[in-house]
Amino acid sequence: EALKDLKLLQLAYNKISRIAEEAFYGLDSLQVLNMSYNLLGELYDSDFSGLRQVAYIDLQNNHIGIIQSQTFRFLKTLQTLDLRDNALKTISFLPSLDTIFLGSNKLAALPDMELKASFIHLSENRLEDLDDLYFLLQVPGLQVLILNQNRFSSCGRARGPAGSLSLETLFLGRNMLQLAWETGFCWDVFKGLSRLRVLYLNNNYLTFLPPGALGDLSALRGLDLSSNRLMALAPGDLPANLEVLDVSRNQLLSLDPNLLASLTAVDITHNKFICECDLRSLVVWLNQTNVTVLGSGADISCMYPNALAGTPLSSVSMEDCDEEEVLEALRLSLFVSSMVTLTLFLMTVFVSTKLRGLCFVCYRAACGLLPTVQAERHESEPYRYDAYLCFSGRDFAWVQRALLRHLDAQYSAQNRFNLCFEERDFVPGREHIANIQDAVWGSRKVVCLVSRHFLRDGWCLEAFAYAQSRCVSDADGALILVIVGSLSQYQLMKHRGIAGFVRKRHYLRWPEDLQDVGWFLHTLSQHILKREKNTIRDGSIQLQAVVTVS
């Protein structure tokens, strides 16, 4: 009865380890109870019985690990409960209060429970799943939420964003939001916080801000992004009505001053600005703006180039940037022209390597559309055949497939040449050497298809000798030599006549790539059609009598 009017009871800094039953009976008017810095380990349902008017209970810095569910339920006037620096692992015992202090405990998860409060302090706990943050943001009437130094790094998403219509201040510093956001989830954690005015996201290892993550924060006036790893801020990252921004101690290489237009104060110290011409707009803005730039100007400095390292941005000269812009445009045009030239070169190489056969076919088709004058045969043409094809009989199947079907008029009416070859045009029963002589001297050109079989065929070598003797006697280019297959120079040098021809005269080689066959046949046709100018024989010179002058 002597203490029935007591309003404040100070029991801090003692060694109280338990509360006796009915210990507070008779303290009907007590409003503040301070039992901090004691040795309490457990709290039971009856510990605070009799405190009918208590509004504030301070139990911080005890060893409380267990609290029974009804311990505070009957304290109808309780408004503030301070349980900081204890060993709590759950908050299922909490009634709806105005102010709750639960910092520096061992809370790893929050139960699904009804909770109402205007101020919640949960810093320095072990909360990891952002699902707990979604839960807290749905607490009715909540105005201030402090969650610094937890471990928010995952996104369970058992709950969705409901949005708090009352929250004004949110502390989320010293967490690991980067680990959650880099998975692509929980980007909507701030959705619906239309009355939030101050947001702390410092020390969260952030390398980016999720697109639209802050888009719903229309009332936000202060944003702390300090001590992260941001390298850039993009348009749309910041709320439109923001007034105070702290992006100090990040890794910003550049910063668009247009993003800072609505601010009244900004801190951009201790970043890693690259002091090149791209930074000119920021340097000009810093020297002309009316916005309060927090921190020392010496701490807003260049990191690169090395010659300007440590130089304050306000001291950096950008006078050469006009010339640099001209050079930049020139570099761009040179780059574009170089890329176009390189592309055309690569396309040319590709076409010439892979599509040259198709290009030649198109060229021949185009030439066929042009009006041409057909060359008429001279009536005085002394040759029976356009060309004599000399080849080994063992190569006949290949010659027929590769040459005769495309050149000989008897194989196709579209072919233009009257060719001679042993299998068809030699007279049976006649001496073989006589047939060879008639073929060599009766054809305008002799085409020798030199293959491995040709070099082993005596008649082929004999025909080559006759053709070569004709070239010598008539001094014309009637002999056309075509090397077929992978014959080496050594193999050709074993035959003196062929070796001499190869060293002194032009010869053709059958293409290894099938796309070059069309071009080769065209070239061979041009050689067959080519008319050689005969040299003037000595017998055509008219002799005159020599007169001796006496």
The more confident residue out of 158 and 502 is: 502
d(CA 192, CA 136): 14
E strands of 372-487, at which residues? 385-390, 419-420, 443-450, 479-483
Number of H helices, E strands in the chain: 14, 22
- pLDDT attached to residue 468: 85
- pLDDT attached to residue 244: 97
The more confident residue out of 488 and 123 is: 123
Instruction: Give the least confident one: 3-17, 231-245, 329-343, 378-392.
Output: 378-392
- pLDDT attached to residue 29: 94
Q: How far apart are the first and last CA of the chain?
A: 181
Question: Cβ(34)–Cβ(11) under 8 Å?
Answer: yes
Confidence of residue 538 (pLDDT cuts 50, 70, 90): very low
Helices 458-474 + 496-504 axis angle, to 10:
50
- pLDDT attached to residue 229: 97
- pLDDT attached to residue 356: 58
d(CA 281, CA 61): 53
- pLDDT attached to residue 143: 96
Distance of CA 118 to the CA centre of its chain: 48
- pLDDT attached to residue 381: 60
What Å distances lie between residue 59 and 11, 23, 529, CA to CA? 10, 16, 114
- pLDDT attached to residue 495: 85
The more confident residue out of 113 and 352 is: 113
Distance of CA 471 to the CA centre of its chain: 66
pLDDT tens digits, residue range 363-400?
655 655 555 444 444 444 678 899 999 999 999 999 99
pLDDT tens digits, residue range 174-204?
999 999 999 999 999 999 899 999 999 999 9
Give me 7's structure tokens: 């309003």
What burial class does residue 389 get, using C-beta atoms within 10 Å of its C-beta: 0-12 exposed, 13-18 middle, 19+ buried? buried
| CATH class of residue range 383-529 | alpha beta
Give me 344's structure tokens: 């055309």
Closest of 152, 192, 143 to residue 174, by C-alpha? 152
Alpha helix (H) residue ranges in 300-431: 321-354, 356-369, 396-399, 405-407, 422-425
d(CA 270, CA 300): 6
d(CA 4, CA 317): 76
- pLDDT attached to residue 194: 92
pLDDT tens digits, residue range 271-302?
999 998 888 889 989 988 999 999 998 999 99
Give me 535's structure tokens: 């040299």
Give me 52's structure tokens: 């009918």
Residues of the chain above pLDDT 70, percent: 88
Residue 402 pLDDT exceeds 60? yes
Give me 518's structure tokens: 């069309």
Residue 490 pLDDT exceeds 90? no
d(CA 366, CA 271): 66
DSSP 3-state of 80: strand
Mean pLDDT of 83-101: 95
Question: Cβ(52)–Cβ(71) under 8 Å?
Answer: no
pTM of the predicted model as reported, rounded to 2 decimal places: 0.61
Mean pLDDT of the chain: 87
* CA-based radius of gyration for the chain: 50
What Å distances lie between residue 363 and 369, 381, 415, CA to CA? 10, 31, 18
Helices 356-369 + 321-354 axis angle, to 10:
80
Residue 543 pLDDT exceeds 50? no
Instruction: Give the least confident one: 8-17, 63-72, 489-498.
Output: 489-498
Mean pLDDT of 91-116: 94
pLDDT tens digits, residue range 237-270?
999 899 999 999 999 999 999 999 889 999 999 9
Residue with tokens 């050149």: 407
Mean pLDDT of 94-122: 95
- pLDDT attached to residue 488: 81
Residue 220 pLDDT exceeds 90? yes
Q: Which residues neighbour 109 within 8 Å (Cβ) at sequence distance 6 or greater?
A: 127, 128, 129, 132
d(CA 523, CA 457): 27
